Amino acid sequence: MSNEGKTVKVHYKGTLADGSVFDSSEGRDPLGFTVGEGRVIAGFDTAVRDMAIGETKTVEIPCADAYGESDPTRVVEVPKANLPEGLDPQAGMMLQMTTPQGPLPVRVTEVAEETFTVDANHPLADQDLTFEITLVEAD
């Protein structure tokens, strides 16, 4: 039985290689999406495709099927003069930059005297992910 094209609802817990939890639906409504539409990472979508309602499984998703590898072109140095007055960037801070394609979330990685460096790669890029998934519903 395939869930391809069906709207599903799942509960999940995502962990990193060190066992730390990076996301979970615990205490929230299940995550809903249509299988095969590309609204979730590829490995997650594939894992749910052949599950039965009530089934729980654990899947390991390599970074290529998750958020991919870091792209060095998405790490850029920005002059502090480009910041709104009063904003003092600190390493680890999340900012939203305006691009011609729309808003882009970035993480400040380094701060120098006149510039700061931001990384627009997904925070989970380069990470292999493990998900425990329970299929709650499939329409």
Average pLDDT of span 45-59: 96
Does residue 31 surpass a pLDDT of 80? Answer: yes
Summary mean pLDDT of the chain:
94
Domains delineated in the chain? 7-68+124-138 (3.10.50.40), 72-119 (2.40.10.330)
Q: Per-residue confidence at 44, pLDDT binned at 50, 70, 90?
A: very high
- pLDDT tens-place string over residues 72-83: 999 999 999 888
Does residue 84 surpass a pLDDT of 90? Answer: no
The pTM of this model reads: 0.81
DSSP string covering 9-36, please? EEEEEEE-TTS-EEEE-TTSPPEEEETT
In the numeric block, which tokens belong to residue 127? Answer: 């990470």
